[in-house]
């Protein structure tokens, strides 16, 4: 015998959530030294995972740059990506941004470009090569004015790439280069008015790219039957469901 249909109110609520989810886009932004043409990149896998394991839509904002050349077209890239998101907003979609490394710096630039015009539901900043001080980056301001609803930071004190970048950041910033260390140190100077909308996922043993490793046993910090990539995607999905 077939299962009885849910009560009308329950069915309406379920359908409404599915429709709402289908109009929400998770936008993935890679870091440096990533080949946009590769189908094995973490952004490609993340888009596929999102479509298979959630009701959301997914997009990827891809580019290629090196460690010392990223600043040259960084703002131009952010403006181009912001225009794409404006097209989604004009069609009635909401969106969250998921950046890794330099992609987090781009996500913050995009947020500033969209400030006052469009809202970003959630910012997921994974191994962020971005400013850790919320006052200096003006993440406090983006949260206060509602441009960004919530921020989740994925950090590791064992991130050697960000550790090295932190050491060299002072001399490199003298010539307009250098990286932030948010993904290494976690956030600093969060305003009391917005601190309840900022959360941190701490994985002390993770390297810079461990979050996207797709092999079992890649990290002792996750269950042996789960890859770090799978755990990261589950964390992103859970945050989106809880804060929608």
**Domain range annotation of the chain:** 21-242
Q: What is the pLDDT of residue 3?
A: 46
Please give the distance of CA 126 from its chain centroid, rounded to a whole number.
6
Sign of CA dihedral 120, 125, 126, 131: positive
Q: How far apart are CA 1 and CA 18, in angstroms?
A: 26
pLDDT level of residue 146 (50, 70, 90 thresholds)? very high
- Find, among 140, 148, 145, 98, the residue nearest to 121 by Cα: 148
- Find, among 85, 23, 32, 91, the residue nearest to 60 by Cα: 85
Contact assessment for residue 101 and residue 75, using Cβ atoms and an 8 Å cutoff: no
Q: What is the DSSP letter of 188?
A: B
Q: How far apart are CA 213 and CA 233, in angstroms?
A: 11
Q: How far apart are CA 206 and CA 127, in angstroms?
A: 9
Q: What is the DSSP letter of 5?
A: P
**Percent of the chain surpassing pLDDT 90:** 73
pLDDT level of residue 2 (50, 70, 90 thresholds)? very low
Greatest CA separation for the chain: 73
pLDDT level of residue 17 (50, 70, 90 thresholds)? low
pLDDT tens track for 153-162? 999 999 999 9
The CATH code that applies to domain 21-242 is 3.40.50.1820
Q: What is the pLDDT of residue 19?
A: 57
- Find, among 90, 145, 86, 97, the residue nearest to 121 by Cα: 97
Helix intervals (H) in 54-159? 74-90, 102-114, 134-137, 139-144
Q: How far apart are CA 217 and CA 213, in angstroms?
A: 10
∠ CA 154-117-89, rounded to 5°:
75
pLDDT tens track for 89-101? 999 999 999 999 9
pLDDT tens track for 181-207? 999 999 999 999 999 999 999 999 999
């Amino acid at each position: 015998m077939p299962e009885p249909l849910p009560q009308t109110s329950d069915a309406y609520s379920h359908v409404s959530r599915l429709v709402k989810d289908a109009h929400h886009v998770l936008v993935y932004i890679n870091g440096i030294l990533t080949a946009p043409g590769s189908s094995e990149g973490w952004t490609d896998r993340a888009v596929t995972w999102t479509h298979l394991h959630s009701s959301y839509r997914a997009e990827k904002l891809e580019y290629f740059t090196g460690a010392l050349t990223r600043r040259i077209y960084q703002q131009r890239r952010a403006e181009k990506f912001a225009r794409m998101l404006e097209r989604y907003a004009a069609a009635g979609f909401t969106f969250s941004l998921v950046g890794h490394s330099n992609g987090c710096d781009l996500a913050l630039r995009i947020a500033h470009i969209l400030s006052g015009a469009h809202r970003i539901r959630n910012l997921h900043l994974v191994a962020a090569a971005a400013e850790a001080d919320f006052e200096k980056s003006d993440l406090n301001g983006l949260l206060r004015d509602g441009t960004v609803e919530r921020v989740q930071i994925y950090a590791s004190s064992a991130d050697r790439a960000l550790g090295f970048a932190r050491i060299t950041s002072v001399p490199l910033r003298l010539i307009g280069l250098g990286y932030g260390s948010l993904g290494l140190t976690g956030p600093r100077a969060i305003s009391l008015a917005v601190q309840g909308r900022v959360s941190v996922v701490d994985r002390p043993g993770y390297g810079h790219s461990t979050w996207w490793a797709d092999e079992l046993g890649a990290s002792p910090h996750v269950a042996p039957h789960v890859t770090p990539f799978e755990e990261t995607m589950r964390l992103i999905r859970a945050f989106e469901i809880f804060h929608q």
